[in-house]
Amino acid sequence: MSKATNAQIQQRATQIFTILRNKYPKVRSALNFSNPLELLVATILSAQTTDKGVNEVTASLFKKYKTVDDYVSAAPAEFEKEIRPTGFYRNKTRSVLGACKKIKQDFGGAVPDNMNDLLSLPGVARKTANVVLGNAFGKNEGITVDRHVLRVGARLALTTSDKPNIVEQDLMSLAPREEWTNISHRLVLLGRNICTARKPKCAECPLNELCPSAFKV
């Protein structure tokens, strides 16, 4: 069997993204937030846990901590107890409080709206920056790659890598920039609801005719 050409891969990717857009026309972050600061905090807390669990914690957390100054003046030990259900609470406390301290000192108390400045914050890597930029500021600087995107992207043969940074670049090269944020949401929804890790529901998947892994996983 001959290897697919770049044009063939692009054509199939375009079909995939079109079908996903039709299936999930309106998408949004699964994390609850009302401003960039809340999304930044929620995204840091979401590492190695579920968005549902984070939303349960932030429901009360965001009532207490409303500004950067609130986080800067927080007692670390108390904050650890408040976010403990999200796991890795000591590291997350250092990241959240450290990020807010730097935001106050270096950015006038406003969450930065560009990649370089966001990456300068403690606890913020490209994945978190993509989430904040795409969902809080409407800026498509990249594609957020989580475990669902890794799995679905590989099964659909949109990438041959298991490294998030390479997967992101592969997806970005195949998708229109204005869709980058939404494509991540759609791949996540497909991964959560249909293309699950253990028992993918291939018979229900709108992409099964385009997926080389359909009925084989």
> Annotated catalytic residue: which of 66, 127, 199, 216?
127
The separation between CA 2 and the C-alpha centre of its own chain, rounded to angstroms, equals 34
Distance CA 108, CA 123 (A): 19
Distance CA 120, CA 6 (A): 36
> Annotated catalytic residue: which of 101, 104, 117, 146?
146
Check if 127 is active-site. Answer: yes
Check if 69 is active-site. Answer: no
Q: Determine contact, residues 210/15, Cβ cutoff 8 Å.
A: yes
- Which of 130, 121, 176, 124 shows the shortest CA–CA distance to 149? 130
Q: Determine contact, residues 133/118, Cβ cutoff 8 Å.
A: yes
Distance CA 119, CA 19 (A): 33
Rg (CA), the chain: 19
Distance CA 130, CA 180 (A): 10
Give me the active site residues, please: 127, 146
